[in-house]
Structure 1
Amino acid sequence: MVERDGLILLLDVIDPSGTMRERGPGWAHDLALVRQMLLSELEAEDNLYERQVVQIGGRSVLFVPLESAQNLRLPLGWVFRTMMRALHLQAELCTRGVFFGGLLALGKGIGGPEHVVGAGVEYVVRRHARLPGYPRIVVDDRLLHAVMLDARLRHFQHGPDEELEYIQRLVERDGDGFWYVDYVGAIERECDSSEEYEQWLARHRDWAQAKLNAVVETDDYYAAWHWLAWYHNRVVRELPDEVVGDEAARVDLSVLAEVRPTV
């Protein structure tokens, strides 16, 4: 089989029950939940499109072959759609206390029912391993550039600038230079009312606070939960008062030392 260009989304659960060196008992449950939810997202769409979801080294990987006859038939903006899928997963699972990071990139691969291999997959796995272990899905810089040049990545009715405009509504640039899926900010547009968004924010705040309260500075996941708290609070600070102006909407950072991650 020949490698094909594809969109690759890797999702890696941040394990609340173990360490970075030794997975705890809750990790397998959360990993299975992420994979189940990802498959459910795909099943809710038109099944005429070709995609594969597999597990690689304890991570869930989605591969969307761009050269597939099914996917070329009517391109619907695979980068935007995949980001929306990731956003919905993060927004849903965070309210259950499940957080994960990941990487979305372009690369070559060969997909089958139970496997996805290839140079692109190897690149995504290696690059993800070098990223900080924050609960954020990083978007590869080269992918954003490719949207402007490759019509297979865009909705068939959109030009490059219009497609990029839609994508930019879903991402933010972090203090360390990485673009990532801004699920806390972008999910507001998916809510039916400001009250619904406020309720969702409260649940997200409660879980972020609980994660933060449970660690100390020497723990493996201190940086991850520290970043999550600062990310939540940054989004809240930028919201208009009519959406949420209450100090109680923020994570209480008084439990932290003064060493802050770049956010």
Structure 2
Amino acid sequence: MMNYQDKVVCFLDILGFKKHVNDTIVRGGEEDLERTDHLIKVFNLIREILDIDQSEERFGTEVTQFSDCVVISFNITEESGVFYALLDIMWVQVNLALNGILCRGGVAQGKLVHTPKVLFGPGMVNAYELESKAAVYPRVIFGESIIQLGIQAHGAQNRPDQEANSIMNLLKKDFDGMYYVDYITGAQQELDAPEFDYPEYLSKLQKIVAEGLTLKDPSIRIKYQWLKEKLQPHINGIKSYVALELPEGSDLREAYESIPDL
């Protein structure tokens, strides 16, 4: 018999998935094999990052992927569960961005049944409504209560204040009071070669934004405008710093200076 458990639930959704799918079919109804392969690569990447295909639960966490959505859940008492879930979300967002794709989502608390075959409950509804009604922009959002849950269920090796610092290092607080996973500035420390991979990552984000701002639908453009307003000042600050601190002609300075402005 399965019963509800009190869980933290993360609901992620790929932005613009309909367009990504439509782009796999070109005029005349022919399949664009390169674009199809790209989407398959992206889904396999998500499964790899989140260990979806593992036969055993990972750190007490359940993960389900269906269509363009991913649900991650774990018991509210799971040690460092919030920290590891937010880190996984950042990894998903960073790797999606490197492949030209953005996502948004919501993280909530609630009762849930989540097994490899069954997924339902108020917690799922809470996370879905947060994603669909409040996230709006390419961000994964949650309130202060999720942070507090993470601190209460701190890792055995951490004091509560240390757990809080670890969690907050992954986050930013937005204009509406919601917290979001900072995949823009926080991504640098997660890249394989942070110093030299980061300019390429920022360039990828700029390209996504530039393309998004050309779309006609204003309800879609505002999503990319949000990202531009987070991204461009950050890039401007880095460019100012490298102009002062790095010699002309250095590879790193040129890499940052080559990032186009929006």
| TM-score past 0.5 threshold | yes
- Is 2:155 aligned against 1:155? yes
Deviation sequence 1:220-260 (CA, Å, 0-9, x none): 311111112122113324447137695653541xxxxxxxx
- Is 2:99 aligned against 1:99? no
- Confirm or deny: 8 A CA contact 2:76 2:149 kept in the other structure: no
TM-score w.r.t. the length of structure 1 is 0.77
TM-score w.r.t. the length of structure 2 is 0.77
Evaluate the alpha carbon distance shift between residue 57 and residue 41 of structure 1 in structure 2; reply closer, same or farther with a 3 A threshold.
Answer: closer
Structure with bigger helix share is 2
Deviation sequence 1:110-146 (CA, Å, 0-9, x none): 1121332112112112222221421111123210122
Aligned with 2:109: secondary structure? strand
CA distance in 1, matches of 2:145, 2:206: 33
Evaluate the alpha carbon distance shift between residue 36 and residue 9 of structure 1 in structure 2; reply closer, same or farther with a 3 A threshold.
Answer: farther
Residue number among 43, 51, 63 corresponding to 1:43 in the alignment: 51
What aligned pairs does 1:100-249 form with structure 2 within 5 A after superposition?
A: 100-148=103-151, 150-151=152-153, 154-191=154-191, 192-212=193-213, 214-216=214-216, 218-239=217-238, 241-242=241-242, 249=259
Deviation sequence 1:43-99 (CA, Å, 0-9, x none): 3999553332225785321122346xxxx5xx3x11111111111111111121111
Give the structure 1 partner of residue 72 of structure 2. 62
Q: Which amino acid aligns with 1:223?
A: I
Query: Alignment RMSD, CA only?
Result: 3.1
- Confirm or deny: 8 A CA contact 2:65 2:71 kept in the other structure: yes
- Confirm or deny: 8 A CA contact 2:83 2:150 kept in the other structure: no
Evaluate the alpha carbon distance shift between residue 155 and residue 31 of structure 1 in structure 2; reply closer, same or farther with a 3 A threshold.
Answer: farther
Q: Which amino acid aligns with 2:51?
A: E
Aligned with 1:98: secondary structure? coil
CA distance in 1, matches of 2:3, 2:170: 33
Evaluate the alpha carbon distance shift between residue 89 and residue 141 of structure 1 in structure 2; reply closer, same or farther with a 3 A threshold.
Answer: same
**Structure 1: 5+ residue stretches without partners:** 253-263
**Structure 2: 5+ residue stretches without partners:** 25-35, 243-251
CA distance in 2, matches of 1:62, 1:3: 15
Deviation sequence 1:182-205 (CA, Å, 0-9, x none): 111111112324222112212222
- Is 2:82 aligned against 1:79? yes
Aligned with 1:184: secondary structure? coil
Q: Which amino acid aligns with 2:114?
A: G
CA distance in 2, matches of 1:105, 1:132: 12
